Amino acid sequence: MFSYIYIIYCFISIVHAFLHIPNYKCPGEETLRKCLGHRIKGPIYYRKDFAYKSDLLLENNARVVYFPVAFVHPVDVFDVQSAIKCGAKLKFTVIARSGGHSFESYSIGDRDCTLIVDLRYMNKIIIDVTTQTAKIETGNTLDTLYRSLNEHVFAFPGGGCSSIGVGGIILGGGNGYIMRKFGMSCDNILDAQIVLANGTIVNHAKKYPDLFWALRGAGNAGYGIVTTLTIKIYPIQKIVTSMAFTYDFDQAQLVYSVINKLGNSFHQNFTLMIDHRNKTMFQIRGYYLGSLNEAKPHIQELIKLTKPKDESYVEGEWYNAVLENTTGTRNYYKVKSFYINSPGLSYEGVEYLMKFIKNFKCTFWVGIILIGGGRVNEIGRNEMAFVHRGFMYVQTIEAVLDENNYEICLKDLDNFSLVFQKNYTSSESYQNSIDRKLDNWQCRYYGENFGKLVKIKQKYDPNNLFNWNQSIPTNTETSCY
């Protein structure tokens, strides 16, 4: 046991040296220590504390590293309130962290000496099967949420990576494999508890219609710290069918054209993702809410027309299907995202994408999820802050950058994305797949809703306490109309 602990200690010490954690204190740090020390019940870690390194390592993207003044771990909403009050009083930018999966590490800010409020110890879940609602604290991960819901044979539309924090993904949108049936994660927010910049605890955001509107799609972009979400949950079939169809690389044009044709007509119990991970083959991964026998009539034409080289099917619980083969390990990531209009990606667009995949020098994943014909598009663009409605697909490109080709891959990904978005997709991008280098991000992430979001920010955080690159600003000259 001693040797195991010693190995861990040595590993973290090596990481500490590698990260070059600064020894200097941030301006005002001593005063902040006194303020937090008198008020916070949960643990607080500063740069010289051993646990500070562990907090840094929880950040999923190793590509971007900053060094906060401290990590505060509240145990209740009053700890969150106290941290905000100390930060505001002493002029420290305050950042909320739910799971640490920001692709630009915004969950530790965008510069040194920010004050991080890490919510991991706030992880209560209360499920009400009668009202089909759940009250969840935002320190939960998707895994803990899905596992708790599964015990009651319920589900919630969200992502597939088990370690993602619910606060970030739900408030920023929330793509998932059952969104054609149940909508985006943010579509299913019924209420929220949030602590504002002035320290006010708002127990029912729904009583503030403008704030509630903003939280559903931009709630992770600087309006306060959301501590609890009340969400709509759904009874789920006991048997769900996961399927995978495998194709040769040169079948891409056929597969895309077939899905473009059939996608809007698929039953809402069925959704699919085109999944590219290498340069020789690719897959369609599909999920049907029901047994294989129930699924067959809804997928037979897809199989007939696309002619997969291999088919596989697994029946089981939704919880096991959605979180299969997910990790969320720390690495050097860069992500780009696109929304593709109906009738889908054109012949030229597919050619351009396949050429990029074939020539890209780093490890990659390209996922294109079907939206068309589903619940997401039944909601208007301005009903809430999440604006991306009416599209056929949402596409994500995730690159894992190795040190040998780091700069080349970043440059190639940027160049591809500029041309691809200009010529073959809509102008919009998904705010949860955050990209620091994205031009005109205000309009790409929030569309015509951006101006309203700025006005709401002015009202609830006029001094811009919660701020980082690509948070909602308190003033702007950008117009997205």
C-alpha dist (Å) from residue 305 to 46, 254, 264? 59, 8, 16
Separation CA 428–CA 341 (nearest Å): 10
Contact (Cβ atoms closer than 8 angstroms) between residue 342 and residue 374: no
CA distance 278 to 27: 48
pLDDT, tens only, 121-156: 999 999 999 999 999 999 999 999 999 999 999 999
- Give the C-alpha separation, 52 to 312, whole Å: 45
Instruction: Check residue 328 and give its pLDDT.
Output: 63
Domain layout of the chain by residue ranges: 2-118, 125-235, 240-441
* pLDDT on residue 76: 98
Tell me if the domain spanning 240-441 has CATH number 3.40.462.20: yes
Per-residue pLDDT at 16: 44
- Which residues have a Cβ under 8 Å from the Cβ of 341 and sit 6 or more positions away? 390, 391, 392, 425, 426
Provide the 3-class DSSP secondary structure of residue 113.
Answer: coil
Nearest to 357 by CA among 238, 468, 250, 266: 250
* Residue labelled with tokens 């919009």: 428
125-235 CATH choice from 3.30.9.10, 3.30.465.10, 3.40.50.720, 3.20.20.70: 3.30.465.10
Predicted confidence at residue 20, as pLDDT, reads 82
| Contact in structure between 240 and 288 (CB atoms under 8 Å) | yes
**Which of these, 349, 396, 342, lies nearest to 372 by C-alpha position?**
342
393, 342 Cβ separation under 8 angstroms: no
More confident residue, 405 or 393: 393
Q: Which residues contact 2 (CB under 8 A, 6 or more apart)?
A: none
CB contact at 8 A, 262 and 302 = yes
DSSP state letter for 232 = E
Give the integer Cα–Cα distance in Å for 98 and 120.
Answer: 6
14 confidence band (pLDDT: 50, 70, 90) = very low
Tens digits of per-residue pLDDT, 39-85?
999 999 999 999 999 999 999 999 999 999 999 999 999 999 999 99
Total residues found in the chain within this entry: 481
User: 204-223: per-residue pLDDT in tens?
Assistant: 999 999 999 999 999 999 99
The CATH code of the domain at 2-118 is 3.30.43.10
- Residue identified by tokens 């909320």 is 96
Full-model pTM: 0.94
Asked if residue 343 has a cis previous peptide bond (ω within 30° of 0), the answer is: yes
Kindly indicate the confidence band of residue 327, based on its pLDDT and cuts at 50, 70 and 90.
low
pLDDT digit string, tens, across residues 215-262? 999 999 999 999 999 999 999 999 999 999 999 999 999 999 999 999
pLDDT of amino acid 17: 40
pLDDT in tens, 344-367: 999 999 999 999 999 999 999 999
Q: What is the mean pLDDT of the chain?
A: 94
- Tokens 């696309």 locate to 306
